[in-house]
Amino acid sequence: MEKRFTKAEIKKEGKTESPTKLIVGVLTGALILGAIVYGGYKYSQKRGGRLALPRSMPQTTKPPEVTAETPFVDFTNDKYGFSFKYPKTIELVEFPNNAWGFAWGDILPQYNLLVNVDLEASRSAEMRKLSVLDYTGNYWRQFPGLKGLKSIESFTNDQGVKGVKAIYINIADQTPNLDVFFAIPNSKDLIHFANGFLEREIFDRIVNSFKFTTRED
């Protein structure tokens, strides 16, 4: 089930700007090893072409139930011409500026974005000069919560779509997230996925179901 999250509703939650991208950050909590900082989360606000990292975020308590038997349903975006499958037990929430997230326990969707459209026009002049592979390799430079690139590789998913997988290093010297980029045909615009709190097995199923469809005129 998909739900739209309007600008007014975002403001009501205390956010004054629209999330547009995915960002790996620092999650302080009890996800692993007690109080050690373990994971990263995605949250983004458009601020003069840059994304800002929130100072803190709520703890996760009860995640949605996703098992090997959970049915997957279709998500399709006609504007940019792509689709993927995701667990039926997860409710996708649409934000302005082409981003979709989902609630995870007590964490609001705007803190846990799953996919967004990374438009070339929204990048800095320097970043617009880069090829898709070079851009994904330097993606981390746009965010204060990231400090480097651990690994990057090209791959082809189960639908025959070529993409790039990247793992970035956050400011806590951790690499909790996998970011996946698919270039929209004949452009430098990207469809960007990040696993956030999803188990890798579930995230991989989503990524492997991704494909391009007919784009609306």
Q: What is the pLDDT of residues 123-171, one digit of tens each?
A: 999 999 999 999 999 999 999 999 999 999 999 999 999 999 999 999 9
User: Could you report the per-residue pLDDT of 102-127, keeping only the tens digit for each?
Assistant: 877 777 787 788 999 999 999 999 99
Distance CA 198, CA 146 (A): 20
Q: pTM for the full model?
A: 0.72
Mind listing the domains of the chain with CATH numbers?
Answer: 2-47+72-212 (3.40.1000.10)
DSSP assignment of 14-43: T--S---S-----EESSSSSTTSEEE--B-
